[in-house]
Homo-oligomer: A and B are copies of this chain.
Amino acid sequence: MQRPNPEWDLIADIQRRAGADPRVPLGIGDDAALVRHSSGDILVTTDMLMDGVDFLIGQTPLELIGRKSLAVNLSDIAAMAGRPTAAFISLALPRKNGREIADGLYAGLMPLAKEFDVAIAGGDTNAWDGPLVVNVSLLGEPSEHGPVRRDGARPRDWVFVTGPLGGSLPSLRHCTFTPRVREALALQVAVNLHAMIDLSDGLASDLGHIATASRVGIVIDARRLPIHKDVAGDGATRVQHALSDGEDFELVFCVSAADGQRLIDQPPPGVTLFCIGECTAELGLHLRDQDRITPIAPSGWQHQFQ
């Protein structure tokens, strides 16, 4: 699902023109939408991946492209602490080798669907003269605790991530990552999750979404930031990678200090956790490195238009 882009107010335009709708208690601007039907609430998310932008055909193995197309959507449902149910796969296949490409995509996609108990329920398969485009829409159910939004963080909340950050692109981890669906459900049973998001654009950018939506500030402690072994370089460069590389697809979330201490003392089985900072009443994102506190510029991935 799309995030607000400071360079372009299309999403704000759509929100304004669409108006509030009682059937969509959570819509444009969160990881997934919550759609209210007469029968109950459904989570829905959709992501479009394109050759040359999200993968490079000929370089990225087809199986990994197929896997990623579902995995990024699973990560969005995880960010709401939902349970994924059914996926819909739309393909614009190059006319040349279209069938082989489709077979390769599904060979990567199907095992992940099975692992996360997702039904492949439909889609739209097309051929054209353009590059490969894969769109996946994924449905899910909120857990009995309800969906976790991104606007509930409070001053003095502790901020956690579920794994080390940075370097996901050169290592292909942006395709092979494990969506944190199980971790989110386990965390929601253990504590009261105030706000959560999945790390797609990069920690600085995605934390900015939580901070803005929740009207809090966030201070990240550089020394506690888990930096992935895939990140080269040293010191400040490594921190910068962890803050801004993006496509980590770990979860970042905020809980009360008491719940934070509980998670450190007794993390849910199988869940990796790092406490990386704290929410503040003073707005803005900051990095604490030893005794220096400096503002963090939101520096994640943004689509560019001419």
Contact = CB atoms under 8 A, between A and B. Distances in A.
Nearest to A54: B126
A113 B47 CA distance: 21
Given A8-B99, A35-B85, 16 more contacts: A23-B85, A23-B121, A24-B119, A32-B122, A37-B139, A38-B141, A39-B41, A42-B42, A45-B122, A46-B123, A46-B124, A51-B130, A90-B135, A98-B305, A98-B306, A133-B133
A141 B85 CA distance: 17
A135 B88 CA distance: 11
Chain A interface size range: 35 or more
Interface stretch (A10-18, A182-190, A240-248, A292-300): A10-18
A171 interface: no
Interface of A: 1-2, 5, 8, 10-11, 13-14, 17-18, 21, 23-24, 27-28, 32-33, 35, 37-42, 44-48, 50-53, 85-86, 88, 90-93, 95-99, 102-103, 106, 110, 113, 119-131, 133, 135, 137, 139, 141, 303-306
Contacts of A47: 90, 124
A123 to B, nearest CB: 6
Given A17-B106, A37-B39, A86-B44, A123 B1 contact: yes
Contacts of A95: 304-306
Contacts of A23: 85-86, 119, 121
Contact of A37 (B5, B11, B13, B85): B85
Contacts of A122: 1-2, 27-28, 32-33, 44-46
A247 to B, nearest CB: 14
A42 B97 CA distance: 35
Contacts of A303: 125-127
A245 B48 CA distance: 30
B2 A50 contact: no
A102 B18 CA distance: 15
